[in-house]
Amino acid sequence: MISAEEIKKDFLILKDNNIAYLDSGATSQKPKQVLEAVEKYYNTANANPYRGTYKLSESATQEYGRAREVVAKFINAKYSEEVIFTKNASEALNLIAYSYGLENIKKDDEIVISIMEHHSNLVPWQKVVKQNGAKLKYMYINKNYELDLEEIKSKITKNTKIVAITHVSNVLGTINPIKEIAKIAHQNGAIVVADCAQSVPHMKIDVQDIDADFVVFSGHKMLAPLGIGVLYGKKQLLENMVPFIMGGDMIEYVYEQETTFAELPHKFEAGTQNVGGAIGLASAIKYLENIGFDTIHKLEQEIVEYAKQELSKLEYVETYYTPNKENHCSVISFNIKGVHPHDLATILDSCNVAIRAGDHCAQPLIRYMNIPATCRATFYIYNTKQDVDKLVQGLQKAYNMFSKFIH
């Protein structure tokens, strides 16, 4: 099996900076293979896709189409036109909220989300319910930071029209039972939006198997460049939706007062698209598939278990993750008693350890947990035990600095 040390060599930024990068949940680093694929595209095939009648434009169009097919196959979409390229997961969620939510949600309908949602999968739904006179209901977590089946079943009812749920929490690392949630939603006549921003980088997602109606994720959290994301939607739903952004390439005929729109996927891709980003994403998928998700799982399991074990030795560290190993993925939130997370992040930075501190775009969850903020270490395929050791050393330093002032 390939080792994290071996993988790390592909990431020049990690090699050159001697940094323990533990913030891949915010954005991952990029391997040289992905950067080379993007560079190659710009050096050999770049032009405005769809718009030129010359060879280069055709090559750009073809490369873009190929990237879409790679993504479709990666998530096992039935049709490649079910894959819409967006800027990121947030844009994809907004597209669903505007083009599906606002159009279909009626007065007194209910949208169900969980308390652990990222603001991107929360604020757009607030807008929908406010504008349409509907209700936003929350599924809350139990003491293991998980959603109980009873909680899920009690919140999703015949009044529910949309269930929007994160697959993996970006604060807790909890893996939600997305397939069961989809089943319960469908039994009640609701559609399911799965926010897979934190799951797609780490595990094989089969959109037909989980049977979600919409799935969103961001390329930049899974080794691809910034600025490319994916919306998957079931064809029949997408076909019946109104466009989100209007402009070039998404139309069929435009008259002075009327317009007809292009077919999928172009209907949802207005303006010149990020072809370089799509090619980078396809290359990132190839990179991940070369390693294989079984290996990725083993590598991550090893590093996360090691981190949990080392953190548990520090009696002043408080952690927030489920004890059920099989329901937990790649994220460890923690606090040191008496040290504010932002001070901790600054001190860790001085030890060349990059973690995130704050509310992680999940204020309702942090408030529900009744803590001011957390520090968060997130792990990916290139993280080694040395990275964890550096984190632990940094935590000890911070604790020593602060504890001598506790009188």
Ligand X SMILES: Cc1ncc(COP(=O)(O)O)c(C=O)c1O
Interface with Zn ion by CB under 5 A: which residues? 342
DSSP annotation of 228 reads -
The piece of 114-122, 284-292, 328-336, 384-392 that touches ligand X (CB under 6 A) is 114-122
Residue type, 348: L
Nearer to Zn ion, 55 or 342 (CB): 342
Question: At 53, which helix (H) or strand (E)?
Answer: none
Q: What track of x and - describes contact with ligand X for positions 72 through 101 (by CB under 6 A)?
A: ----------------xxx-----------
Number of H helices, E strands in the chain: 16, 15
Question: At 71, which helix (H) or strand (E)?
Answer: helix 55-74
Q: How far is the CB of 389 from another protein (least distance, A)?
A: 19
The piece of 41-49, 152-160, 195-203, 394-402 that touches ligand X (CB under 6 A) is 195-203
Of these partners, ligand X, another protein, Zn ion, none, which one is at the site of residue 198 (CB under 5 to 8 Å by kind)?
A: ligand X
24 binds ligand X (CB under 6 A): no
Of these partners, another protein, Zn ion, ligand X, none, which one is at the site of residue 358 (CB under 5 to 8 Å by kind)?
A: another protein
Q: How far is the CB of 341 from another protein (least distance, A)?
A: 8
Strand duo 20-21 + 356-358: pairing: unpaired
> Catalytic residue numbers?
361
Nearer to ligand X, 123 or 291 (CB): 123
Helix axis angle, 385-403 to 293-312, nearest 10°? 30
CA–CA distance, 369 with 247 (Å, rounded to integer): 44
- With CB under 6 A as the contact rule, the residue among 195, 213, 269, 300 that binds ligand X is 195
CB 141 within 8 A of CB 115: yes
333 binds ligand X (CB under 6 A): no
- Per DSSP (E only), the strands in 14-92 are 20-21, 83-86
170 binds ligand X (CB under 6 A): yes
Instruction: Provide the token pair at 136.
Output: 């936003």
Grouping H, G, I as helix, E, B as strand and the rest as coil, residue 122 is coil
Closest CA to 162 of 106, 205, 117: 106
Nearer to another protein, 382 or 402 (CB): 402
Beta-bridge mates of residue 374: 358
Nearer to ligand X, 231 or 336 (CB): 231
Residues 150-169 that bind ligand X (CB under 6 A): 166
DSSP annotation of 244 reads S
Q: How far is the CB of 345 from another protein (least distance, A)?
A: 8
Closest CA to 399 of 331, 334, 307: 334
CA–CA distance, 388 with 153 (Å, rounded to integer): 39
CA–CA distance, 274 with 278 (Å, rounded to integer): 6
CB 362 within 8 A of CB 118: yes
Q: How far is the CB of 138 from Zn ion (least distance, A)?
A: 29
Residue type, 70: V
Of these partners, another protein, Zn ion, ligand X, none, which one is at the site of residue 343 (CB under 5 to 8 Å by kind)?
A: another protein
Q: What track of x and - describes contact with ligand X for positions 214 through 243 (by CB under 6 A)?
A: ----x-------------------------
Handedness of CA 155, 333, 195, 175 (dihedral sign): negative
Q: How far is the CB of 216 from ligand X (least distance, A)?
A: 7
Query: How crowded is residue 9: how many other Cβ atoms within 10 Å of its Cβ?
Result: 12
Interface residues toward another protein, by CB under 8 A? 338-343, 346-347, 349-350, 358-359, 372-373, 401-402, 405-407
Nearer to another protein, 201 or 341 (CB): 341
Of these partners, Zn ion, ligand X, another protein, none, which one is at the site of residue 322 (CB under 5 to 8 Å by kind)?
A: none
Q: How far is the CB of 120 from ligand X (least distance, A)?
A: 4
Nearer to another protein, 190 or 373 (CB): 373
Nearer to Zn ion, 133 or 338 (CB): 338
CA–CA distance, 111 with 125 (Å, rounded to integer): 8
Residues binding ligand X (CB under 6 A): 88-90, 118, 120-121, 166, 170, 195, 197-198, 218, 361
